[in-house]
Structure 1
Amino acid sequence: MLKRLANPDVAKAVANIVWLGLERLTQIVVAIAVSGLLARYFGPDVFGKWQYANTLLLVLAPITWVCGAEILVPTIVHRPAAELGTVLGSAFALRIAVSALALVATWAAIAAGVTDPTVGAMLAGLAVTMIFREPFIGVINSWLQSMTYSKPQLVTSMATALVKAGLVYLLVRLAATPARFAWLWALEAAAIGGVLMVYYVRRQGGTLGWRIDRALLRHFASAGTVFWIGLVCMYLFLKLDRLMLERAISFADLGRYSAAQQINENWIALGLMLAQTIAPAFVYRVQDIASLRRNVKRLMLLAAAIMISGACVLDALAPLVITRVFGPNYEGAISIFRWCVWLSVPAGIEAIGNLVVLKYQAKFVLLAKWLLALGVAFVVNLIAIPRIGSYGALVGLAAGYLAAASVNLYYIRLKLRP
């Protein structure tokens, strides 16, 4: 064990995981606190609209994910250090252009009245995060991931999350209108992006040094297209439950369902971030098939153990979490929460398996996987939601995750054969 920890890659990964754990713990605590404040302040009906606005944002956000981390991080790892400014500058130019178009289109749709007025007012502020998340935060974070050093981004995220929680409390005390809270999320994204840009400039000797290379720009736009569509399908799958439930249940019931899912999604995000932070050291840089197969197997077991342990704790604490945080009006979310936390197990295993797909840039496998998961979830939701309501949406998510994980395992079996 001491010999392994002496390995620079292993030491970096362990330090990254420690910071990741602290950041996830902070985000979970802040999410619970903020959700509790908003749920009690808004009431189930308006809270359901708030959650639906967030769902729409998370369906729209993948539009800005051209040249995602699955393209950018391996490119940074394999290109000479002298080309870093060109790689990051080209990725930034592509992302900022697409993000600006997505924001304008979202505002135009809101102005045209395609959503509930309250939902639209909330979404107008939330959508501003698209300008900062991928062009600024995403580009710098990809650079940090390539070095297996996410501490600057994680520390900044923790600090801004705590500040945001304080500002939410202040707006509640001031009895602000629901739409005003959305702008706090835009402010948080801008602050993180600004801090990371300053950090990058300092690490590069005081100059940004970003340049746009048209050939690389075209490569990013074309090479990432299939991945991009695949990720759009992935996030549509992840939010399909709320999109379909909105048509079948009241906003108050949707608020109760979303209260349970929001805490669960913060927990599932741990598995995704765990996969991202260890990918360069234990998957992307490993060329020996036997070593890679062994690493993937161990990482899957680790992810499963972490997720099962966490699900057991959250299941046991469900009544305490729901009633103490969200209040008596959300008691209907307790049983939903107890079921949905177990979705973290297939989600964590899927995230590890997905690393092999990304390592070999198997873009059509990624696309086929999420199209299959989306299709399976849609059919199951169509059948189950009218019969068992919110629980039908959980069945759809479980079926979709299992379909996605099965595709990963089949691909790994073929690709990493001895």
Structure 2
Amino acid sequence: MKLLTRTGNPDVARAFTNIVWLGMERLTQIAVAIVISGLLARYLGPDVFGKWQYANTLLLVIAPVTWVCGAEILVPTIVHRPPAETGVVLGSAFVLRMSVSALALVLTWAWIALGFIDPMIGAMLARLAVTLLFREPFIGVINSWLQSMTYSQPQLIASMFAALIKAALVYALVHAAAGAASFGWLWALEAAGIGGALVFYYTRRHGGKLGWRFNRALFKHFASAGMVFWIGLICMYLFLKLDRLMLAHCVSFAELGLYSAAQQLNENWIALALMLSQTIAPAFVYRVQETALLRRNLLRLFAMTAALMIAGALVLDALSGFIIARVFGPNYAGAADIFRWAMWLSVPAGIEAIGNLIVLKFQAKYVLLAKWLLALAVACVVNLIAIPRFNGYGALIGLAAGYAAAMAVNLYYLCLRLRA
């Protein structure tokens, strides 16, 4: 850190500091997620834990709807406008995001009230969905402002502390024998706490005043700009959760609980691959303009990612029974075999994440949309065939097929864009 500071380039020092804090925050989130999952899995049992996981899956499918006016639109707008206009930029984005988030929450509650899902799942989702009011309107908007300054430390610190407090509260509710649905309030409380901390930080940086103002023209611009990226992200998250959405209609919630336990650990491992790609992207992809050097960097990144994911999968495969037993307890022994196979999905997931860097570098929004639409369609068709025959293993086959389709699109675009 001191060496980077002495280079005299504050941008390099800030970027490195951001990477360090991002790594700490991601590792904290992964550790907390595993601890909380283990606590809830042991306390709720496979059947209710399956319902809890399904409620979380539904939330993660709904949440991308609130990602209108993403960071790829908001951050450049903040950067390219004078500081005096920051309040009107953030205020207009806040009104848009809060409007969409409130509508999403009301529609979610209405869907639950109409009885379209299991009552217990509905009770869990009703509480979890309150997070929509805080994530994008408050956390997302202020985090974009922080990103525009290459200074994400306040958000990352708030996120880490909130996650640790949430874990402590989960532990307390478990020992208080609280009802299953009541845990959802903790996720809403976590989002509210982070949002409140960031608003407090922002106001302190601006003389004790929020100063956000609404501008109709900016509101319309934010509502239309980035629409293709927005729809593409919705398709991506729907693809990532499609396995559990479709599996829930073919197996019991106890079996879904076993599958979700295995996938919970797998997704945390995959998150490390995504963190790696985000960390190395600026230096090795985004800032590289020479085509030959970019091709060489990508080949090295593909090889490094594949080697890392394969090595990790081999170790986790060998320790699958031990890990499942230690984290989730003896009632989840059946998840070990699913976990063994699921771990190998980290290889295509990591390779896809590296290939996606080229799509993002050149802002190929229609390629992004086409890729995830194709992956979603392929996974859906494969799931319809494989899940009724192979249950959880069929869902893994569907995910593998979807990743293969996404990688094929990445490869085609890479060859087209970087050809000699």
TM-score when normalising by structure 1: 0.91
The superposition leaves residues 84-106 of structure 1 with CA deviations (integer Å, 9 ceiling, x where unpaired) of 33333222221111000000000
Give the Å deviation of 1:17: 2.9
For the pair 1:196 / 2:176, whether they are aligned, the reply is no
Is the CA contact 2:76–2:148 (under 8 Å) kept in the aligned structure 1? yes
Q: Which residue of 1 aligns with 2:188?
A: 186
**Do structure 1's residue 67 and structure 2's residue 69 form an aligned pair?**
yes
Following superposition, which runs of at least 4 residues in structure 1 exceed 6 angstroms of deviation? 1-6
In the other structure, the counterpart of 2:128 is 126
Q: How does 1:19-418 map to 2 (within 5 A)?
A: 19-276=21-278, 279=281, 283-284=285-286, 289=291, 292-293=294-295, 295-418=297-420
User: Match of 2:20, as an amino acid?
Assistant: V
Question: Is the contact made by 2:295 and 2:418 (CA closer than 8 Å) also made in structure 1?
Answer: yes
Q: How far apart are 1:325 and its partner, in Å? A: 1.6
Assess, with a 3 A threshold, how the Cα gap between structure 1 residues 123 and 76 changes in structure 2: closer, same or farther: same
Q: What is the identity, as a one-letter code, of the residue corresponding to 2:61?
A: V
Question: How far off its partner does 1:158 sit?
Answer: 1.5
Contact persistence 1:148–1:281 (CA under 8 A): no
Give the C-alpha shift of residue 142 in structure 1.
Answer: 2.5
The SS at the match of 1:128 is helix
C-alpha deviation, 1:411, in angstroms:
1.7
Deviations 1:26-73, CA, capped at 9 Å, x for gaps:
222211211111111111110100000001111111111111223333
The whole-number CA distance in structure 1 between the counterparts of 2:353 and 2:68 is 20
Letter of the structure 2 residue corresponding to residue 128 of structure 1: V
2 CA distance for matches of 1:145 and 1:279?
15
TM-score w.r.t. structure 2 length? 0.91
Question: Which stretch has the larger CA shift, 96-105 or 265-274?
Answer: 265-274
Deviation at 1:2, TM superposition (A): 8.2
| In 2: Cα distance, 1:4 partner to 1:346 partner | 40
Structure 2's unaligned 5+ residue stretches are none
Give the Å deviation of 1:381: 1.0
- Cα distance between partner residues in 2 of 1:9 and 1:313: 38
Question: CA 1:335 to 1:375, structure 2 compared with 1: closer, same or farther past 3 Å?
Answer: same
> In the superposition, relative to structure 1, how do residues 72 and 315 fare at CA in structure 2: closer, same or farther (>3 Å)?
farther
* Secondary structure class of the residue paired with 2:117: coil
Moved more, 107-116 or 303-312: 303-312
8 A contact 1:20–1:274 mirrored in 2: no
| Residues 74/36 of structure 1: CA separation in 2 closer, same or farther (3 Å cut) | same
Residue identity in the other structure for 2:110: A
For residues 111 and 249 of structure 2, the distance between their equivalents in structure 1, rounded to whole angstroms, comes to 19
- The Cα shift of 1:292 comes to 4.8
Query: In 2, distance between residues paired with 1:261 and 1:220?
Result: 35
Deviation of 1:303 after TM superposition, in Å, equals: 3.9
CA contact 1:86–1:211 (8 Å) conserved in 2: yes
Asked whether the equivalents of residues 65 and 104 of structure 2 are also in contact (C-alpha less than 8 Å), the reply is yes
Distance 2:218 2:225 in 1: 10
Distance change >3 Å, CA 145–CA 115, structure 1 → 2: same
Answer whether contact 2:4 2:12 (CA < 8 A) is retained. Answer: no
Give the whole-Å Cα distance in 1 for the aligned partners of 2:304 and 2:223. Answer: 35
- Deviation of 1:3 after TM superposition, in Å, equals 12
**Separation in 2 of the partners of 1:291 and 1:93?**
43
Which letter maps to 2:87? Answer: G
- In structure 2, the CA distance between the partners of 1:196 and 1:301, relative to structure 1 (3 Å rule), is farther
| SS of residue paired to 2:351 | helix
Task: Pick which of 170-179 and 18-27 moved more.
Answer: 18-27
SS at match of 1:371: helix
Provide the rounded CA distance (Å) in 1 between the counterparts of 2:413 and 2:122: 41
CA offsets 1:360-412 (integer angstroms, 9 cap, x no match): 33221111110000011111111211222111111111111121122123223
Aligned residues: 418
Distance 1:6 1:350 in 2: 36
Deviates more, 1:278-287 or 1:323-332: 278-287
Deviations 1:246-295 (A, max 9, x none): 01111000000000111221222233344445555655555555555555
Is the Cα contact below 8 Å between 2:23 and 2:275 reproduced in 1? no
RMSD: 2.6
Q: Which moved more, 1:30-39 or 1:209-218?
A: 209-218
Larger mean CA deviation between 42-51 and 393-402 belongs to 393-402
1:127 partner SS: helix
The letter of the residue matching 2:399 is: L
CA distance in 2, matches of 1:130, 1:196: 16
User: Residue by residue, what CA displacement relative to the aligned partner does 1:200-252 show, whole Å, maximum 9, x if unpaired?
Assistant: 33334443333333222222211222222111111110010001100111100
1:16 equivalent to 2:18? Answer yes
CA contact (8 A) 2:382 2:397 kept: yes
| Contact in 2 for aligned 1:145/1:276 (Cα 8 Å) | no
Percent of pairs with identical residues: 75
